[in-house]
Copies of this chain bind each other. A is one copy, B any other.
Amino acid sequence: MPRAGLDPAAVTLAAAGLADEVGLANVTMGALAERLGVRAPSLYKHIDSQADLNRRIALLVAEELGDQLRSALQGRSGRDALAAAAHTMRNYIIEHPGRYAATVRLAVTGPDDPLAIAGGRVLESLAAVLIGYDIDPADTVHALRLLRSLFHGFATIQAAGGFEMDTDVDESFNWIVDFIDRGLTTKPTYGRLT
């Protein structure tokens, strides 16, 4: 029995890949072990539990998404940056639906949780998009939540096949990006109406 040279990162990466292929729910310890040329119990030498594995996948996603967003936003601002961020997030989720699913329903344990930190970096990138649209600082949080909710919702619905196919989803996505851009641009003309 030669050694397989595994470590937590390798196991996490393999699990993420498997999740993208067969869906997160089908990432069983047995299937993952088989893919790594190992028996299931051996995995516990590298991860604590399946919940721990999910957590690590989510962390991986936050890091990957954060990196891609930072790259895509280099030198862009305003509408350009918005479109780049939107497409980056959407492409990532479409290419990696399985691992992305690991980020849903996940509670951070505390402020020094690596997951909270990596997640914060993703949010920073989205916040950078907003800098290009001069927005009242008091409203930045709201706009950020708008972007996050919208991207997350759109991508998860599409990943689940929730849109009817009659009308092109890409077209809708571009329309939505336009819509948001227009709203953020013409925004300053208001003041707490509710």
Contact = CB atoms under 8 A, between A and B. Distances in A.
Interface in A132-177: 139, 141-143, 145-146, 148-154, 156-157, 160-161, 163, 166-167, 169, 171-172, 174-177
A105 interface: yes
A190 to B, nearest CB: 7
Given A106-B160, A163-B145, A167-B141, A178 B194 contact: yes
Interface of A is mostly: helix
A182 B143 CA distance: 14
A194 B174 contact: yes
Contacts of A142: 167, 171-172, 175-176, 179
B161 A153 contact: no
Given A141-B172, A153-B148, A183-B179, A160 B190 contact: no
Q: Closest 5 interchain pairs by CB?
A: A153-B153, A149-B153, A149-B154, A142-B175, A152-B153
